[in-house]
């Protein structure tokens, strides 16, 4: 019975961790996937409570990581775009274009289209905005490239932080191995009679 309960707990934890990993993919179109992960973890704690499993320090670290992911995503995009000469309007247009591109291309290439669409949308959105503002084509292309790379690196950083949240969660909710499970007779350790006799003699010499 103990082994059956452990197998059930392991299956539920495994399924939940896989679900959290899949939710992280929503970071690609710019959705708040890391926060959604925390919501799901909160539901897990409510439905499947275990004392000391998800304590206050877990939530402090998890929420801190989620905030760090948002800061990194936005900061990397802005810094990279600015280094390539993008204006504030161009950077914002690139962010909006990234979301639109990810949504439009998400159904293609088994979800990979969302990433490609986000990058293309960031590039196109920034390029069009810079051209509308009257900047030369060469400068607009350079700014669009910086915005696109900033989007890519920001998404990578945010997904990496989300992976850390999932790993932290998995470590806390993973079921402990059962304290003792009966072993089948063929798995029980066997000691040849000759070796057993030698062990008894040595123990007698040790204690006598």
Q: Is the pLDDT score of 179 beyond 60?
A: no
- 98, two tokens: 């990234």
Mean pLDDT along residues 52-70: 89
Q: Is the pLDDT score of 150 beyond 70?
A: yes
CA distance 120 to 115: 9
Domain ranges of the chain: 2-177
Nearest 5°: CA angle at 133, between 129 and 134? Answer: 120
Contact 140, 87 (CB under 8 A): no
Contact 143, 87 (CB under 8 A): yes
CA distance 9 to 149: 42
3-state helix, strand, coil in the chain (%, to 5): 80, 0, 20
Q: Which residue has the higher pLDDT, 199 or 149?
A: 149
Nearest 5°: CA angle at 19, between 17 and 23? Answer: 115
62: confidence class by pLDDT, cuts 50, 70, 90? very high
What is the reported pTM? 0.72
pLDDT tens string 26-39: 887 777 899 999 99
């Amino acid at each position: 019975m103990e082994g059956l309960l452990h197998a059930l707990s392991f299956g539920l934890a495994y399924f939940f961790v896989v679900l959290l990993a899949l939710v992280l993919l929503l970071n690609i179109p710019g959705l708040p996937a890391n926060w959604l992960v925390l919501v799901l973890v909160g539901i897990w704690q409510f439905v499947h409570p275990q004392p000391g499993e998800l304590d206050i320090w877990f939530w402090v670290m998890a929420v801190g990581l989620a905030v760090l992911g948002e800061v990194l995503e936005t900061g990397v995009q802005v810094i990279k775009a600015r280094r390539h000469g993008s204006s504030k309007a161009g950077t914002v247009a690139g962010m909006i274009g990234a979301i639109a591109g990810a949504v439009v291309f998400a159904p293609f290439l088994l979800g990979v289209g969302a990433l490609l669409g986000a990058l293309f949308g960031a590039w196109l959105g920034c390029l069009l905005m810079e051209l509308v503002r009257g900047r030369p084509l060469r400068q607009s292309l350079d700014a669009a490239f910086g915005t696109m790379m900033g989007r890519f690196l920001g998404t990578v950083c945010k997904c990496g932080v989300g992976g850390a949240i999932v790993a932290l969660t998995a470590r806390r909710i993973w079921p402990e191995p059962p304290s003792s499970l009966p072993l089948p007779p063929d798995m029980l350790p066997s000691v040849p009679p000759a070796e057993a006799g030698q062990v008894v003699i040595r123990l007698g010499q040790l204690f006598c």
